[in-house]
Structure 1
Amino acid sequence: MTDFDAATEFDRQVTTLVGLGYPALAGLTETAFRGLVEPLRAAVLGRRATMEPPAEGRVPFLLVVTRSLVPLEDAVPLTTLAGKSKPGVIERFYAEGELERFVSLKELALPEGEVYVAFDVDRGEEFCDVVPLNAMATIEGRGRTPLTIEEGLAFVTQYPGALAKNKCFSLGGSRFGDRRVPALWISKGAPKLGWCWEGNPHTWLGFASAGGRDA
């Protein structure tokens, strides 16, 4: 048992999303948006006894808003770095309309619905300078799975400090069907959603993963 208050953290994350304007982007009133997210509370509280407090680079859970509710192009600019205000940007190397074709791997079997919870999320800085394909094999061997684009955005939205100098991360749970792996890094004082090759290591790029998901 820890002294981490999962209910208070749940409320904080909902308030953060509301404050950033997620309800309007989803075409919902604040009341309707809160009503959509509220059922996730039971999934969170059901695991609270095993949760550890947030630490640098690792958090107990994240409320994930999928692109079916809020488009990625709207969610990225709502991210910032810790103590900064410059909005996140999308790498120009994504061709027009291409980002939407980076979809979650079928083997992740994501929860159905427009919002869900990702548990035990780690930015994977131990995998800095490790080939992404090798990092994925390692986390799969631990019974974990790679983060999707939406989960990575949720991570930085709720915990801006998760994205730090030389501690950025790949999002191997969303793929296009080629050798590119989406990633979040820092560019000109703001988060940037880009991609790197699955066979190329980078000293500043880890591999983010989750321990589970629920809705």
Structure 2
Amino acid sequence: MAETPLPTDPPADTAATPVLPPLAEQAEHLVGLGLLPAGGTLDADAVRRAARDLAAAAPTGSLLVVHPRHLPPSLLAAHLRRSVRTRGGIVERPGFVVEDMTDVDEFAPVDGLDVPDVDVWAVRAPDRGDDLADASPEEAAAAIAARARTPLTLAEGVHWVLQAPGVLEPNRCFMTIGSRLRRADGTFDARTPALWISGGTGRDGTERRGAAKIGWCWWRNRHTWLGFASTAGRVAR
């Protein structure tokens, strides 16, 4: 039996995701993490200036991204905060990278992706890709391309959750297939990065239940609860 082709246009009733604050506010949030020291290769004032310049060209709802050479996913992971209801009340849990992804920062943009080689850029109209859930990454890549969009990289996905924690919802999370790990022989590792909510089972530990989680799935596997994040384009200074 032939497979049903994936839609080339997102449905009109795609679930709304949290609205991103203005780029200047996103810059202040990044600065507030204390990860951009004065005198570094990229300091707080440089990020503020970049956000101000990008605001003149990037549409409302764009996402501010700092290049992972300055803020790698492994560094930002613990700053992905989610409020979780427990028996003792509401607690704020930090995010984390799964234990078997020690090479998380080596996942780089795939060939042909229009990621600017600049310190700071803006991602236009990020979308979680809920309607592509239950597709494999391989299938979703073709559907995203047919929509004249490109998949988010892992670094972009991490920034999105950092700025809008509510973008991760139970049964509505996403993969970032714009990043993959290339082996020494030139082929791709079959793991594909994703962000979702920990169930607190297995090696995650119950103390991480409800936390934002950076993990991976296989390139040809399908998951009903993972969409495929994409963008309408990127804006550089």
TM-score category (smaller protein): 0.7 to 0.9
Per-residue deviation, 1:106: 2.3
Could you say what secondary structure the match of 1:23 adopts? Answer: coil
Cα pair 1:80 1:86 within 8 Å, conserved: yes
- Cα RMSD (Å) of the superposition? 2.3
Q: Match of 2:210?
A: 189
Instruction: Give structure 1 stretches of 5+ with no counterpart.
Output: 1-7, 52-59
Instruction: Output the TM-score relative to the length of structure 1.
Output: 0.83
Q: Match of 1:71?
A: 72
- Paired residue type of 2:56: L
2:223 maps to 1:202:
yes
Could you say what secondary structure the match of 1:118 adopts? Answer: strand
Question: Of the candidates 139, 148, 152, which is equivalent to residue 147 of structure 1?
Answer: 152
2:172 maps to 1:167:
yes
The 5 A counterparts of 1:115-130 are: 115-130=120-135
How many residues in Structure 1 have an aligned counterpart in Structure 2? 195
Cα pair 1:118 1:214 within 8 Å, conserved: yes
**The structure with more helix, counted as a fraction of residues:** 1
Instruction: Output the TM-score relative to the length of structure 2.
Output: 0.75
Could you say what secondary structure the match of 2:171 adopts? Answer: coil
Instruction: Give structure 2 stretches of 5+ with no counterpart.
Output: 1-20, 85-90, 182-187, 199-208
Q: Match of 1:86?
A: 93
* Percent of paired sites with the same residue: 39
- Paired residue type of 1:132: P
The 5 A counterparts of 1:29-108 are: 32-48=43-59, 51=60, 60-81=61-82, 85-94=92-101, 96=102, 98-108=103-113
Q: Match of 2:16?
A: none
**CA separation in 2, counterparts of 1:69 and 1:105?**
19
Per-residue deviation, 1:72: 2.1
Deviates more, 1:176-185 or 1:81-90: 81-90
Cα pair 1:82 1:161 within 8 Å, conserved: no
Per-residue deviation, 1:79: 0.5
